[in-house]
Amino acid sequence: MSDLPGALSGELDHFRDRLDKLIRESEVDNYRQVRIFLRDVDDIAAELRKAAADHRLTPKYVGILDACLRKARKRDFYSARKVWHKLDKITDQSSELRRLQGEYRDRYRAVEARIRDLRKRIEHLERVPKPPASRAEADGFVNRIESLNRAAEATYLDFLSRSRADVAIPLLLDTCQHHGVGIPAPPAGADPDPLIRLLSGAGPGHDEIRARSFYGLLELPAYSDAKLTHIYGDSRMIRTALDAAWPWLKAVRDDERRSLQILWSDDAIGLERRAGALVDFLARINPASDALARAQALQAELASGRFAALQSATRLYATHGADAEAKFDGRAEKEIETDRKEIASLSGVLKESPDPAKVETGDAD
């Protein structure tokens, strides 16, 4: 069919459609409509002559279309339609061939897209670094950090709720000012010194105040002056000390669940200094706690460099997911080799197959 001009280019379909429309709309009742009809016939005939002169249609197709126009000009539409149907077979064949060409083009482009996807996949896998630890080790590392945070939080809250104020307040103040565990330091305008003097003083009511916990001290501002005077002897001294230290006490209370928290993504160098301070603080508030043992294990991992390796692995798994797992256990290299073989096979298929553009124009060998 590539040797039949007009069959594959759509030229024949164009003239068939115009003639079909002309015949279907052939109901003319007056002189004006007849003139319009004849004008349309002449336009199609002129275009057909030009297509024949340009060799865009074979003489056979030109003859059939010209005969159809002649019948239509005589308003013998039955005969015109009969002549028009002589092109049904070649039109159906050209339509089927164009459908096959379109299917071939789609499959050819699909193979090209598959090759592009495989190359992108190979490039991506080659860029993924190999994690220094397995996925299970990375997950265990994160779980250990979370367990340490829960244990440290429980130990810290227990300390705030059970320890005497004359023990808790000086210890908290010393830790936040000199050790950098994460407990808030006194903000600007706060002065905990009057509270320290109150807790270390002697006299009526001082023993009762010292015996209160950290949370017990936070309850005192809600007491009336009469109640404070009755229990502790001097309400003005107590209120003055609490008011001066209140911004700091409130900050400690508000951050009670975040003060000792550690993130697995924290900088290892800075965390190594903080881990030492955390171990010292936990040893001072509860030497027998599980949190202290976990903090000491963390400190050992930081010192040995194991923490940095597990942190790097966790980041890689969080970023690349299954690709990082494949890189660690060696599956990525096998997948790359398989993809390269598939690319070579598909490239060979494309090399042996003509380009869809040549197939559609009939230039393919």
Residue pLDDT, tens place only, 126-170: 999 999 999 999 999 999 999 999 999 999 999 999 999 999 999
Within this chain, do residues 263 and 246 fall inside the same structural domain, yes or no?
no
Cα–Cα distance measured from residue 96 to residue 100, given in angstroms and rounded to the nearest whole number: 6
Within this chain, do residues 172 and 262 fall inside the same structural domain, yes or no?
yes
364: Cβ contacts below 8 Å, ≥ 6 apart: 354, 355, 358
Residue found under tokens 């096959």: 100
Within this chain, do residues 234 and 289 fall inside the same structural domain, yes or no?
no
Which range, of 43-47, 59-63, 166-170, averages the lowest pLDDT? 59-63
Q: Which DSSP category does 184 fall into?
A: P
Within this chain, do residues 146 and 249 fall inside the same structural domain, yes or no?
no
Contact 284, 145 (CB under 8 A): no
Out of 57, 90, 123, a domain closes at 90
Within this chain, do residues 42 and 148 fall inside the same structural domain, yes or no?
no
Out of 32, 56, 90, a domain closes at 90
Distances (CA, A) of 104 to 113, 133, 342: 14, 48, 20
Cα–Cα distance measured from residue 23 to residue 156, given in angstroms and rounded to the nearest whole number: 95
Q: pLDDT confidence of 202, banded at 50, 70, 90?
A: low
Within this chain, do residues 149 and 205 fall inside the same structural domain, yes or no?
no
Is the pTM of the predicted complex or chain greater than 0.75? no
Contact 91, 13 (CB under 8 A): yes
Out of 222, 254, 286, a domain closes at 254
95: Cβ contacts below 8 Å, ≥ 6 apart: 13
Q: Does any domain span residue 33? A: yes
Q: pLDDT confidence of 362, banded at 50, 70, 90?
A: low
- Which ranges of 87-234 would DSSP assign to H, the alpha helix? 88-127, 135-162, 165-178, 193-200, 206-211, 214-219, 225-232
Which range, of 34-38, 140-144, 334-338, averages the lowest pLDDT? 34-38
Q: 300: how many CB neighbours lie within 10 A of its CB?
A: 12
| In the predicted structure, residue 295 carries a pLDDT above the cut 70 | yes
Q: Which of 76 and 158 is assigned the larger pLDDT?
A: 158
Within this chain, do residues 245 and 265 fall inside the same structural domain, yes or no?
no
Contact 169, 192 (CB under 8 A): yes
Within this chain, do residues 145 and 293 fall inside the same structural domain, yes or no?
yes
Q: For 184-192, what is the mean pLDDT? A: 90
Domain limits for position 25: 11-90
Q: Sign (positive/negative) of CA torsion 284, 285, 288, 294?
A: negative
User: At residue 95, what is the residue type?
Assistant: S
Residue among 183, 338, 331, 322 nearest 261 (CA): 183
Within this chain, do residues 178 and 194 fall inside the same structural domain, yes or no?
no
